[in-house]
Amino acid sequence: MRTNNIFNHKKLMFLFLIGSIGFTGCKKFLDINQNPNNPDSADPSLLLPTVQAADGQIVGNAFQVLGNIYAEYWTQSPSASQYKVVEQYVQANSYYDRVWNTIYRNALVNAQLIINNKGAGLEYTKGMAYVLKAYTYQVATDAFGDIPLTQALQGNAYGSPKYDTQQAVYDSVFNYIDKGIALLNTKTSVSPGNQDLIFKGDVSKWIAFANTLKLRAYLRISYKDAAKAKAGIAALYQTNPTFVAQDAAIQYSTVGGNENPFYNEMVGLGKTQNVVASGTAVLALKSNNDPRLRKLYNKVPSDNTPAGDTIAYILQGTYQQNPTKKVSFPTPLVAGDANDPASATVPVKLISLSESYFLQAEAVARGFAVGDATALFKSGVTTSFTATGLTAADANTYLASAPDANIAGAVSLEDKIKIIITQKYYAMNGLQGFEAWTEYRRTGYPTFLVVSKASLLGAGLMPQRFIYPNSEVTTNLSYPGTVPVTTPLWWDTTN
């Protein structure tokens, strides 16, 4: 090492001399600007897991917190403060900087780079990238409404991408899904294999995922544009679609940096338990005598009373009024216990199996598709039970007795939708909070959500969207202005 250094000095001195005498060696002397630290190209198979892990962070962390609080499964703990602003319904623009960054710079741009790649044998990888792009855009527009799309992801070509309407974004989502499915149907191509964190390169599962996503997206616009939703779903069913037969999920491990993103976030926050059981969800589960209650929330620490075997909650947003109350936490089953490492290995569900059944049940109930809505509904409830470690028998007991599961008693379409969405709400507790809140905004179900006690919005108002990030406010010259959190989204006709 040392001799090497001396040699370099000598070499340098020699080069100095050359430089002083003339510039014959100058060109070579100055040709040292190749970056030794970072590659300037990347194989699509290396970009694919980036897109997936980014979606894992979006749905499994940032939107997980916001969604589970706005869906009122969880509420801010009286013993901490991190999500008080969420409960107050009023956040600064900068609150959304991080997740917007993850959406565009981790998920979408890398999906786009896969799609742009000119290499051979990339049909499957590109198909997955299209489906993930559609998935990400849908999540983003369901959060923020109008967002950059046509001019987005093009670097300097559009330095200030304009905002497209949510309607246009949805049109693009359908388009991307179609392109993805077409590519995934390619006869011969190369699977990315284990570089695919979701389905390990299984193309048929990706097609099922794409179909389910399409169903989700059409149903989302069903109130705003029923004809389009109906036509789109009918066309989908024409293709004899498969739907997901297992959760579309990313599996995490206990290795540092590879844990469930929300658990990893809690570790970063010093394992502070910020989220606790909300009265909204707990009371609803209790009133249906739902055995999932004890799977989703832990018992209050028994140091309070020897018989501490209750699920204790506080009402949504009442952290200030209950400073010393001992409250149940979400369990490690939903990655909600900051101090139980079992939370680390919990998957992030992009679309769950039970959600798939509920989507199909709704499509059939609405007459957009043909099938047995009740059977699909019951499969939705049953798979939700089994996903929490309960049995099909437990589900049957519940289906037979729970008022909120009484599909047989639902006469009108609206009654059926109410039951289906309310059960979907129960099924999404903890792991699909954002989707549950989004479906609440779409349908108004379940009906038992309340205004957070900590709200600073004014009487009766609830958030209907997230506000644009500060990074766009200060850098995007096409910034359309901050839309208030109380303004409903385009597809939201319930207000």
Partner 1 sequence: MKHKLLRIFMVCFFCSASMAFAQNKTITGTVTAREDGLPIPGATVKLQGTTTGAQTNANGKYSLSVPAGSKLAFSFIGYTTQIITVGAQTTIDVTLVSDAKALSEVVVTANAIVREKRSLGYSAPTVKADELTEGGSASAISALTGRVAGVNITSTSASPGSSSRIVLRGGSSISGNNQALMVVDGLPIDNSSITGGADSRSSVDFGNRGNDINPDDIASITVLKGPAAAALYGSRASNGALIITTKSGKKNTEKTSINFNSQNTFSSILKLPDLQNEYGQGYYDDPTANPVTYINDPRENGSWGAPFTGVVQPWGQEIDGVQQTKAYSAVKNNLKDFFTTGYAADNNLSFSGGSDKSTFFLGLNALNSNGILPGNSDSYNKYGVRFNGNTDFSNKFSAGISINYSNVSNSQAAGGQNASSVYNNLLQTPRDIPISQLQDLTNKYNGYGYTDANGIAHPNSYGYYGAYVLNPYFVLQNFKNLSNVNRVTGNVNLGYKPLNWLNITERIGVDNISDRRRFITPKYNFVPADTESGNYSAADRQTNVGAYQIDQYNITEFVHDLMVTASHKFNEDFQGSFMVGNNIRQRGTSTTQTSTNTSGGLVVPGWYNLANSNGPVNVITDNISKRRLVGLYADLNLSYKSLIFLEGTARNDWSSTLPVQNNSFFYPSVSGSFVFSELLKSTSLANVLSYGKLRSSWAQVGNDTDPYQLLSTFARTTINGSFGSTTFPFGSVPALQAGTTIGNINLKPEKTSSFEIGTELGFFNNRISADFSYYKNKSKNQILTIPIPNSTGYGFALINAGELQNKGVEVSLRGTVVKTENFSWDLFATYTKNNSEVISLLPGIDQISLGGFGGMGIVAAVGKPYGEFYAVTNQKDSQGRTVINPNTGLPVATSSAQYLGSYNPNYQASFGTSVKFKQLSLNVLFDTKQGGKLYSRTKDITGFNGTSAETGGPRFGVPFPNSSYLKDGVYVPNTDVTYVKQDLYTGGVNPGVDIIDASYVKLRSAALSYTFTKSQLRGTPFGALTIGLYGNNLFLWTSKENKFVDPEVNSSGAGNAQGFDFSSQPSVRNYGIDLKVSF
Residues 286 to 305 in contact with partner 1, rule: CB under 8 A: 301, 303
Q: Is 54 in the site for partner 1 (CB under 8 A)?
A: yes
- The set of residues, in sequence order, having a beta carbon less than 8 Å from that of 62 and lying 6+ positions away, is 98, 99, 102
- The set of residues, in sequence order, having a beta carbon less than 8 Å from that of 451 and lying 6+ positions away, is 316, 317, 459, 460, 461, 462
| CB closer to partner 1, 158 vs 490 | 158
Indicate which single residue of 271, 283, 403, 409 sits in contact with partner 1 (rule: CB under 8 A): 271
DSSP code of residue 228: H
Q: Is 238 in the site for partner 1 (CB under 8 A)?
A: no
Instruction: Report, in Å, the least distance between residue 135 CB and partner 1.
Output: 16
The rounded distance, in Å, linking the Cα atoms of 156 and 458 is: 42
DSSP code of residue 470: H
| CB closer to partner 1, 262 vs 368 | 262
Q: Is 3 in the site for partner 1 (CB under 8 A)?
A: no
Q: CA gyration radius for the chain?
A: 25
Scanning residues 464 to 483, which ones bind partner 1 (CB under 8 A)? 469-477, 479, 481-482
Q: Which amino acid is at 17?
A: L
Binding mask 162-191 toward partner 1 (x if CB under 8 A, else -) reads ------------------------------
CB atoms within 10 A of CB 201: 19
The rounded distance, in Å, linking the Cα atoms of 312 and 323 is: 14
Q: Is 138 in the site for partner 1 (CB under 8 A)?
A: no
| CB closer to partner 1, 67 vs 261 | 261
Q: Which of 481, 469, 491, 476 is nearest to 152 (CA)?
A: 476
Indicate which single residue of 110, 316, 356, 388 sits in contact with partner 1 (rule: CB under 8 A): 110
The rounded distance, in Å, linking the Cα atoms of 366 and 450 is: 28
Q: Is 85 in the site for partner 1 (CB under 8 A)?
A: yes
The rounded distance, in Å, linking the Cα atoms of 103 and 55 is: 7
Among 193-201, 221-229, 238-246, 431-439, which window interacts with partner 1 (CB under 8 A)? 193-201
Q: Is 113 in the site for partner 1 (CB under 8 A)?
A: yes
Among 77-85, 399-407, 420-428, 431-439, which window interacts with partner 1 (CB under 8 A)? 77-85
The rounded distance, in Å, linking the Cα atoms of 494 and 349 is: 27
CB atoms within 10 A of CB 103: 26
Q: Is 459 in the site for partner 1 (CB under 8 A)?
A: yes
Scanning residues 392 to 411, which ones bind partner 1 (CB under 8 A)? none
Q: Is 306 in the site for partner 1 (CB under 8 A)?
A: no
Indicate which single residue of 154, 287, 289, 305 sits in contact with partner 1 (rule: CB under 8 A): 154
* CA 214 to the chain's CA centroid: 16
Scanning residues 325 to 384, which ones bind partner 1 (CB under 8 A)? 326-327, 329, 339
Give the interface size with partner 1 as a residue count (CB under 8 A): 117
Q: Is 315 in contact with 450 (CB distance < 8 Å)?
A: yes
Backbone angles phi, psi at 43, to 5 degrees: -70, 135
Q: Is 314 in the site for partner 1 (CB under 8 A)?
A: no
Q: Is 160 in the site for partner 1 (CB under 8 A)?
A: yes
Q: Is 323 in the site for partner 1 (CB under 8 A)?
A: yes
